[in-house]
Amino acid sequence: MKTEDKDETNEDWVACIARIRDHQDRAAFAVLFQHFAPRVKAFLMRSGTDAALAEECAQDVMATLWQKAHLFDPARASAATWIFTIARNRKIDALRKQQRPEPEDLPWGPEAEPDQADALALQQETAQLGAAIAALPDKQRVLIEKAYFGDLSHSEIADETGLPLGTIKSRIRLALDRLRHAMK
Amino acid sequence: MTDTIHHHLTDPLLMAYSAGTLPEAFSMVVAAHVSMCDECRARLGSFDAIGGSLIDGAETVAMADDSLGATLARIEAGATAEPPAPRKRRRGVLPGPVQDYVGGNLDAVKWRPVGMGVKQAILPTSRDASARLLYIPAGAAVPDHGHNGTELTLVLQGAFEDESDRFGVGDVEVADDSMEHTPVADIGQDCICLAATDAPLRFRGLLPRLAQPFLRI
């Protein structure tokens, strides 16, 4: 098992989650923890959480990953996306002290096993999306990051950056257009 | 149902819901619409994927020294945690996320009359925005009003028309502060909507304005 996380892909993370689900595998958990916990902690701190609370919440998020490993479906989301949604929900709970209304789940068919072809297609899309975000012009990427990580509405981003609201909206729109184009 | 939805959520709304920055009342409308609309469910999945890519590519902050051990201890202590209840599709006019706030379906709603046959029920959310169910008798109008902020209106039963368009079951109208409108319910069926706003509505006539504090809309 690799300890360096630089070369690991979504496929590796998915395998780790499966080992946690099937064998309560602590080594697999340690690999996921090493990669994701510091990222979740950074995400929470950028949203305005102090270091102590961010540490505690990041541990919560990783513990939730263990407990909900059986609910993860690699045909529907990448490991990073799934962990992002857990971290986001923890943030809303801890920081904003609000409930988060969630959509109803789709009624699923009889197949119990995730579709391998779907999971593979999703791996490729995940890599593609990551590359497309990295390739965005800085001005656009920074605003998308602020919208996700800064816990800011568009008008709060306007206050913080001094940019007019219209400029912020149009840059975010341009960024989304680019991402859509890259994903075609 | 999805094929008959013509008015969808905007990108900024879906992105803010994915990022977790919307007021609770707006999140309720988004969750309710996504429960009814496969297209917006798929778009929401894309916005979640952007969040996933950002967190994967983001900077890191070192965890405390004993962090992994502490987390494993936490897992062992909480190993019997109840699995969360699946959010199954529920029958009835109200989508699941709305039923959670009402405590049941339509028959559990505590309607209060607001005049001319229109009824409303305010749902308990955080105070940065408010959510309410509106009951508009077939053919009746909601008083002409403009908006100070953003108002989202999701049709759950029947349909309404205003100056801009017609809205049927599953359609969501996104109105900003530039809009003045008079929604009128379709003849044929009473109209039920979920509406959320981040500012009090301002009515144009004198009487509705006086009544506003009582109605809390």
Residues B3-29 have pLDDT tens digits of 689 999 999 999 999 999 899 999 999
Q: Provide the shortest C-alpha distance from residue A162 to chain B (in Å).
A: 20
Closest residue, chain A, to B97 (C-alpha): A101
b/e per residue B8-19 (b: at least 16 CB within 10 A)? bbebbbbbbbbb
Q: Provide the shortest C-alpha distance from residue B93 to chain A (in Å).
A: 14
Q: Can you give the pLDDT at residue A107?
A: 64
Q: Provide the shortest C-alpha distance from residue B136 to chain A (in Å).
A: 25
Spatial separation of the C-alpha atoms in residues A90 and A58, rounded to whole Å: 9
Contact B18 A88 (CB under 8 A): yes
Q: Can you give the pLDDT at residue A1?
A: 39
Q: Can you give the pLDDT at residue A3?
A: 42
Does 1.10.1660.10 match the CATH number of domain A1-99+116-125? Answer: no
Domain ranges of chain A: 1-99+116-125, 135-184
Contacts of B77 (CB under 8 A, 6+ apart): none
Q: What structural domains and CATH numbers belong to chain B? A: 1-86+93-217 (2.60.120.10)
The closest CB to that of A101, out of B18, B67, B100, belongs to: B100
Is the ipTM higher than 0.85? The answer is yes
Residue B63 has pLDDT above 90, yes or no: yes
Closest residue, chain A, to B41 (C-alpha): A103
Tens of pLDDT, residue by residue over B24-60, are 999 999 999 999 999 999 999 999 999 999 998 888 9
Fold classification of A135-184 is Arc Repressor Mutant, subunit A (1.10.10)
Sorting pLDDT into bands at 50, 70 and 90, what band is B91? confident
Q: Can you give the pLDDT at residue A153?
A: 76
User: Mapping DSSP to helix (H, G, I), strand (E, B) and coil, where does residue B118 land?
Assistant: strand
Q: Can you give the pLDDT at residue A94?
A: 84
> Which of B40, B50, B176 is the best residue to mutate to test the A interface, defined by the most A CB atoms within 10 Å of its own CB?
B50
In which residue ranges of chain A is pLDDT below 70?
Answer: 1-7, 107-114, 151
Q: Can you give the pLDDT at residue B147?
A: 63
In contact, B111 and B135? CB cutoff 8 Å: yes
Contact A82 B52 (CB under 8 A): yes
